[in-house]
Amino acid sequence: MWESKNIETNTIHGGKKSQGEFGTLSTPIYQTSTFVFDNVQQGAQRFAGEDGGHMYSRLGNPTVEELEARMALLEGTEAAAAFGSGMGAVSSAVLALLKAGDHLVTSHRLYGCTFALFNHQLPALGIEVSFVDLADEQALRAAIRPNTKVIYGETPINPCMTVIDLDTVAAIARQHDLTTVIDNTFMSPILQRPASHGIDLVLHSATKYLNGHGDVVAGILCGPGELIDRIKMTTRKDMGAVMSPHDAWLVIRGLKTLHLRMQRHGENGQLVAEYLQDHDAVEKVYYPGLPNHPGHALLGRQMRGAGGVMAFELKGSFEQAVAFINKLQMCKRAVSLGDAETLIQHPASMTHSTYEPEELAEAGISRTLIRLAVGLENAQDIVADLGQALSVAR
């Protein structure tokens, strides 16, 4: 397998197996549920793990494995596992790492369904969970108990873009022999590589930037070979959140332009954030590319760019925020991010509606907070659409 020292080249060529039997440039889609054995002995050897051959696509599929090899290379880990959704990756990871009586330390700010999983499903299984500010080193240290096994976070955090210092989290985890999991969805390996800061498992909703075209729901987990193999052969196999070969092919296609798309998302993001910050109808913009954002200090050391997602609050009422979103013409009212189209949504009633009102307040998500995932359009068109809609908020 060929590999470059440059990540831009690796998104195109890295991890690619030799061409298929017809010399195809594009990876073949092995759209099969099962694989034929020459004889009973061969089938038995494969199930015993003595022969690297395939058995059944829930256990492994060549197209999915090519995506896994590419993602491991891009994130700088030994291995990767693909899932049918980002939440499939989150649940398979934490349920492989935690059992009843164990304790998870996680962030008080998380994507809504991750929060729901940790706040409702894990405690129902007897797993203890503490929600703390992972950007606060003392709070993180204080949360660790004798039965703590895992630290789980996102950075930047959905939706206010709070940035967690990965070097600090990894150092604390090492002192206590804990496994770290970081959701890298908002950055992609182009802008941030958590494993290079000592993080064990790097997670993605591949639905977002990795695929980039708004036509797939998928997840990826990258990490040490032994742990990834264990997850593949336990929680992924037994709970079944596998990725289909066709979806894997779409994500492989998306990866080829990831570096160009991230560059454009970042340029557009910076321009739009500066426009919003200077607008007299806007109260506050949360974007790490702005010098007044607390996460700005980690640009360069941890993040190669600020990406395309930001949140902002208007000066007006909740009704004005709703009127503003409804008045947009080009920007699409939709959850998700990382697509070519600029997407706008209202976290309190959409992505973070799994939070109770007091939990929203604790997570800094007000009723007037709006999340914007800047797309790949000409930035002037995004600004013009925002500008005409902001007239209702003045």
Active site residues: 58, 111, 183, 208
**Mask of contacts with ligand PLP, 105-144, x by CB under 6 A?**
------x-xx------------------------------
Which one of residues 148, 205, 268, 302 is an interface residue with ligand PLP (CB under 6 A)?
A: 205
Let me know if 138 is exposed, middle or buried by CB neighbors in 10 A (0-12, 13-18, 19+). exposed
Peptide bond into 62 cis (omega under 30): no
Which one of residues 12, 139, 217, 271 is an interface residue with ligand PLP (CB under 6 A)?
A: 217
Q: How far apart are CA 394 and CA 294, in angstroms?
A: 28
The reply on whether position 57 binds ligand PLP by CB under 6 A is: no
Which of these ranges, 71-79, 85-93, 264-272, 340-348, lies near ligand PLP under the rule CB under 6 A? 85-93
Nearer to ligand PLP, 139 or 217 (CB): 217
The reply on whether position 258 binds ligand PLP by CB under 6 A is: no
Which of these ranges, 84-92, 126-134, 321-329, 354-362, lies near ligand PLP under the rule CB under 6 A? 84-92
Nearer to ligand PLP, 10 or 107 (CB): 107
Nearer to ligand PLP, 176 or 332 (CB): 332
Which one of residues 185, 235, 268, 342 is an interface residue with ligand PLP (CB under 6 A)?
A: 185
Which one of residues 15, 86, 288, 295 is an interface residue with ligand PLP (CB under 6 A)?
A: 86
The reply on whether position 85 binds ligand PLP by CB under 6 A is: yes
Nearer to ligand PLP, 11 or 114 (CB): 114
Least distance between ligand PLP and beta carbon 254 (Å): 13
Nearer to ligand PLP, 200 or 339 (CB): 339
The reply on whether position 65 binds ligand PLP by CB under 6 A is: no
Least distance between ligand PLP and beta carbon 184 (Å): 9
Name the residue number minimizing CB distance to ligand PLP.
86
| DSSP one-letter code for 211 | T
The reply on whether position 192 binds ligand PLP by CB under 6 A is: no
Least distance between ligand PLP and beta carbon 26 (Å): 24
The reply on whether position 347 binds ligand PLP by CB under 6 A is: no
Which one of residues 62, 189, 219, 266 is an interface residue with ligand PLP (CB under 6 A)?
A: 219
Q: How far apart are CA 126 and CA 113, in angstroms?
A: 19
Least distance between ligand PLP and beta carbon 333 (Å): 15
Tell me how many degrees the CA angle 63-67-70 measures, rounded to the nearest 5.
Answer: 140
Residue 286 DSSP SS3:
strand
β-strands 343-345, 369-373 pairing: antiparallel
* Neighbour order of strands in the sheet with 369-373: 282-286, 309-314, 369-373, 343-345, 332-333
Nearer to ligand PLP, 65 or 154 (CB): 154
The reply on whether position 87 binds ligand PLP by CB under 6 A is: yes
Nearer to ligand PLP, 139 or 350 (CB): 350
Which one of residues 107, 207, 345, 368 is an interface residue with ligand PLP (CB under 6 A)?
A: 207
Residues that bind ligand PLP (CB under 6 A): 85-87, 111, 113-114, 154, 158, 183, 185, 205, 207, 217, 219
